[in-house]
A and B are shown apart, each in its own frame.
Chain A
Amino acid sequence: MKVLVINAGSSSLKYQLYDMTDESVLAKGLVERIGMDSSIVTHKPTGGTEVTEVSEILEHTTAIRKVLSLLTDPEHGVIGSVDEIEAVGHRVVHGGEYFGESALVDGDVKTKIRLLFDLAPLHNPASMMGIKAAESNMNVPQVVVFDTAFHQSMPEHAYLYAIPRVLYSKHKVRRYGAHGTSHEFVSKTAAEFLNRPIEDLKIISCHVGNGASVTAVKGGRSIDTSMGMTPLEGLMMGTRSGDLDPAIVPYVMNKEELTVNEVNSMLNKHSGLLAISGISSDMREITDGMQKGDANSKLAFDMYEYRLRKYIGSYAAVMNGVDVITFTAGVGENSVVLRKKVCENLTYLGVELDDELNEIRSGEPRRISTANSKVEVLVIPTNEELVIARDTNRIVQGLMS
């Protein structure tokens, strides 16, 4: 089966076409600046040359039409006709409490995604546009895969906040988490890599990229995660503050005469690595700065590492132990120095880092701890698109049989 995976943002749309017989990617690409007269489409057929086109794409329906025409293009295309695509899989950020797993799109599912616009005002409307756009261009089953679904297994004592319960019953204020697709993929891959049943493992999964979260995965289920009702809670990130004393918000709003929008923007876009280093939100530039002796970069790095390590420690406590620590995403897969610093200070857990293995760069899952280490430390490149393609394939196959 050929599956088209779509990740729609408010003004962008990423896509990958999978052939599920061997899980290979036939082509991938990106439509940027949707809604403007100079939208950019970048299309890359596997093994072929990348094509870039600039044209006017005013909404998502036109964007999908453009993608389909590129996929079937005599020169740059990879399929003969649109009919070869048998299913579409969509990434949706927020599934609320409705979705504990991926779902086939129908009227009810669409209504629920719409009901969640309030909780994910930037993301869910965009996903909805992607779904509608695919619907109007193709007549095939569609599947939605949620960033929050994996975390729906968290127990009440982990997902509730200690605030008046009426806020939960009335407004569904609770922890939902994010990066679920990635945490699930990484923890499963780790168990396969170690050739051990996931049911027996206590895994701490660190997804550290521009956005970052840590999840405690016990027996294959998420039992706690660092992101909260929104992706602002938890670790320090590129431009997001992560955890802070909630009393700071009204205090600062009052002192600086900030509006709700301004304080939201401050915490989401002007904080994190960017705020402390004063240079960049990108870990590569922070590491460079630190190595050149810049004190602010060093402080930003130290805070980032310290907060990540604090979460690892607390999740070891949550699970009463840890068998595996995994690193994934941009920073987790590439920052040798961050992994080293974290692991060097976790010896009390029995972590023993192998410096040579840690320095190897590769796109494959790999172990970076020594043979004697009581905790396996792994680097597992994440692949959220593949999870979406697999879920779509599984659900649609089930539908057909």
Chain B
Amino acid sequence: MYFKKIGVIGGGTMGQGIAEMLAARGLDVLLVEKTPERLDYSYSMIELSLDKQLEKWAITQAEKKLILGRIHKVVHLAELGTCDMVIETISEDLDAKKQVFSQLDQVCPNHIILASNTSSLSLTELASSTMYPERVIGMHFIHPVSKVDLVEIIRGLKTSDTTFTETKRFVEEVVHKKGIMVYESPGFVTSRMICLMINEALHILQEGVASAEDIDDAMRIGYQFQHGPLEMADRFGLDSVEAALDRMFREFGELKYRPSTVLKKMVRAGHLGVKTGEGFFKYDKDGDRV
């Protein structure tokens, strides 16, 4: 299989990150959003992210131009018919995702891999909305996509071996990230472990064992985490963490996944982390700790 032109559906945080990373690797990207306005917004966010990298000397002015030049704005899924692979990154809503996949099934030739960047939904269920479930697979990137070199490749029940090996080749040889194979299960490996750790940190905080600052320092300095668990939660968005824990709690039925009450309270208060400027810590508009 030859990977040159990739469709990315959804221009949210993950869609932006994936589109930018693919373009930086020299691939052509068709970025899809529902309206031209949302497309323009996503595109401007990618530009902003490239400007930040330029400031950090990571890329040059010419490279920024080249990367942006490879990202094409598209508003209709029908235009993805010429893509060599499509990656869906819309919000974690099973019905909306199913609808996208059944449309893609019509548009893309049946050997083209259709991937979802879902972090927790069932691939098997997504694939069931298509006529060729063997080409549906999960490709879970981690934010920030340009810096984290890991992708969870998730096999649904009917995902074929060819689809898996080609996806792994794409991740490792084209995109130059490490791909790990994961069988479908709520939260896969990364979300399941990290959400549990965050939840435990919240229990420790709630029990008054240590302050937020000290809990984060413990893991950051003691175990060489880039960010401590509470800052991580702020960066993921506390609402997303709560939703992921809730889903795992329902699916596994085990108490250890039940979201801590501190988390629920923070979400109800609208303190969602970096995106609202306040969570367990405070952040400026660039997302830096203040």
Residue of B with least CB distance to A263: B57
A265 at the interface (CB under 8 A from B): yes
Contact check, A258 vs B26: say whether CB atoms are below 8 A apart. no
Q: Which of A35, A37, A262 contacts B58 (CB 8 A)?
A: A262
B65 at the interface (CB under 8 A from A): no
CA–CA, A265 to B63, complex, Å?
A: 11
Q: Beyond A35-B26, A259-B147, is A265–B59 a contact (Cβ under 8 Å)? A: yes
Contact check, A58 vs B58: say whether CB atoms are below 8 A apart. no
Contact check, A262 vs B56: say whether CB atoms are below 8 A apart. yes
Q: Which residues of B contact A11 (CB under 8 A)?
A: 26
Contact check, A261 vs B58: say whether CB atoms are below 8 A apart. yes
B60 at the interface (CB under 8 A from A): yes
Q: Which of B4, B56, B60 contacts A258 (CB 8 A)?
A: B56
Most chain A CB inside 10 Å of its own CB: which residue of B57, B58, B147: B57
A-B contact count (CB 8 A): 27
Q: Which residues of B contact A258 (CB under 8 A)?
A: 56-57
CA–CA, A261 to B28, complex, Å?
A: 23
A201 at the interface (CB under 8 A from B): no
Q: Can you list 24 A-B pairs with a CB-CB distance of less than 8 A?
A: A35-B4, A35-B26, A37-B28, A58-B4, A256-B56, A258-B57, A259-B58, A259-B147, A261-B58, A262-B53, A262-B56, A262-B57, A262-B58, A263-B57, A265-B57, A265-B58, A265-B59, A265-B60, A266-B57, A266-B58, A269-B57, A269-B60, A270-B57, A270-B60
Could you give, for residues 14-58 of chain B, a 1 whenever the CB lies within 8 Å of some chain A CB and a 0 otherwise?
A: 000000000000101000000000000000000000000100111
Q: Which residues of A contact B60 (CB under 8 A)?
A: 265, 269-270
* Chain B nearest Cβ from A273, distance in angstroms: 14
CA–CA, A269 to B28, complex, Å?
A: 24
Q: Which residues of A contact B4 (CB under 8 A)?
A: 35, 58
Q: Which residues of B contact A261 (CB under 8 A)?
A: 58
CA–CA, A256 to B57, complex, Å?
A: 11
CA–CA, A37 to B4, complex, Å?
A: 10
Give 10 nearest A-B pairs by CB, closest first.
Answer: A266-B57, A262-B58, A270-B57, A269-B60, A262-B56, A265-B58, A265-B57, A262-B57, A258-B56, A35-B26
CA–CA, A266 to B53, complex, Å?
A: 11
Q: Which residues of A contact B57 (CB under 8 A)?
A: 258, 262-263, 265-266, 269-270
* Chain B nearest Cβ from A110, distance in angstroms: 20
* Chain A nearest Cβ from B146, distance in angstroms: 10
**A residues with CB within 8 A of B:** 11, 35, 37, 58, 256, 258-259, 261-263, 265-266, 269-270
Q: Which residues of A contact B58 (CB under 8 A)?
A: 259, 261-262, 265-266
Residue of A with least CB distance to B58: A262
Residue of B with least CB distance to A270: B57
* Chain A nearest Cβ from B180, distance in angstroms: 22
Q: Chain B: interface residue count, which band?
A: 10 to 19
Could you give, for residues 128-162 of chain B, a 1 whenever the CB lies within 8 Å of some chain A CB and a 0 otherwise?
A: 00000000000000000001000000000000000
Most chain B CB inside 10 Å of its own CB: which residue of A35, A259, A265, A266: A265
Beyond the given A35-B4, A258-B57, please list 12 additional residue pairs across the A-B interface where CB-CB is below 8 A: A11-B26, A35-B26, A256-B56, A258-B56, A259-B58, A262-B53, A262-B58, A265-B57, A265-B60, A266-B57, A270-B57, A270-B60
CA–CA, A310 to B45, complex, Å?
A: 46
Q: Which residues of B contact A35 (CB under 8 A)?
A: 4, 26
Residue of B with least CB distance to A35: B26
Q: Which residues of A contact B53 (CB under 8 A)?
A: 262
Q: Which residues of B contact A266 (CB under 8 A)?
A: 57-58
CA–CA, A16 to B56, complex, Å?
A: 39
Residue of B with least CB distance to A259: B147
Residue of A with least CB distance to B4: A58
CA–CA, A258 to B59, complex, Å?
A: 12
Residue of A with least CB distance to B2: A58
Most chain B CB inside 10 Å of its own CB: which residue of A58, A259, A270: A270
Most chain B CB inside 10 Å of its own CB: which residue of A11, A258, A269: A269
CA–CA, A262 to B56, complex, Å?
A: 7
* Chain A nearest Cβ from B179, distance in angstroms: 20
Residue of A with least CB distance to B56: A262
Q: Which residues of A contact B26 (CB under 8 A)?
A: 11, 35
Q: Which residues of A contact B28 (CB under 8 A)?
A: 37
CA–CA, A35 to B5, complex, Å?
A: 11
Residue of B with least CB distance to A269: B60
CA–CA, A263 to B56, complex, Å?
A: 9
Q: Which residues of A contact B2 (CB under 8 A)?
A: 58
CA–CA, A262 to B58, complex, Å?
A: 4
CA–CA, A35 to B66, complex, Å?
A: 14
CA–CA, A215 to B198, complex, Å?
A: 58
Segment 1-19 of B: residues with Cβ below 8 Å from A: 2, 4
* Chain A nearest Cβ from B273, distance in angstroms: 20
* Chain A nearest Cβ from B288, distance in angstroms: 10
CA–CA, A158 to B39, complex, Å?
A: 57
Q: Which residues of B contact A58 (CB under 8 A)?
A: 2, 4
